Amino acid sequence: MSHPTPATATPTPDVPTALGAVRVCALDDLLPERGAGAIVGEQRVALFRLATDEVLAVQQRDPYSGANVLSRGLVGDRAGEPTVTSPMYKQVWDLRTGACLDPVGKDPVDLRVHAVAVVDGQVLLVP
């Protein structure tokens, strides 16, 4: 199994920085329906490019295992909303809201979500 190369974000002057958004990578760096890990500031995030080219981001840390693996999770959907399933213990979250949809018998723990925009083919994220 191959892993995307982690990206390190660098602020660029020509992007909407009013919200503190930083450029993470190009949209073309992301594979559809796959996750990629990135470090933005001091935060580890998991980016997901959907089939529609929308990009969503949640925390990289799996709250159940403590491992930074969510970018390696399986992208799916429930009732038309995109989800990710942890590669560790298979919990399922809504990628838009971070809500835990299936805690696999544990107490539900939601994920932090990060605002993302794609501008001129560049992926911008608010840490």
**Residues in contact with ligand FES by the rule CB under 6 A:** 1, 3, 72, 87
CB-nearer residue toward ligand FES: 1 or 18: 1
Residue for token pair 């994920």: 111
C-alpha triplet 60, 63, 69: angle, nearest 5°: 35
* C-beta of 3 vs 112, nearer to ligand FES: 3
Least distance CB 48 / ligand FES (angstroms): 15
CB nearer to ligand FES: give 1 or 79.
Answer: 1
Residue nearest to ligand FES (CB): 72
**Could you tell me the CA-to-CA distances from 26 to 111, 114, 125 in Å, in that order?**
24, 17, 12
User: From the CB of 63, what's the least distance to ligand FES, in Å?
Assistant: 17
Give the residue with the Cβ less far from ligand FES, 43 or 68: 68
CB of 124 to ligand FES, least distance (A): 26
Give pairs for 80-87: CB < 8 Å, separation 24+. Answer: 82/48, 82/50, 82/56, 84/35, 84/46, 84/48, 84/58, 86/62
CB 2 to ligand FES: min, Å: 8
Q: What is the rounded CA–CA span in Å between residue 123 and residue 127?
A: 12
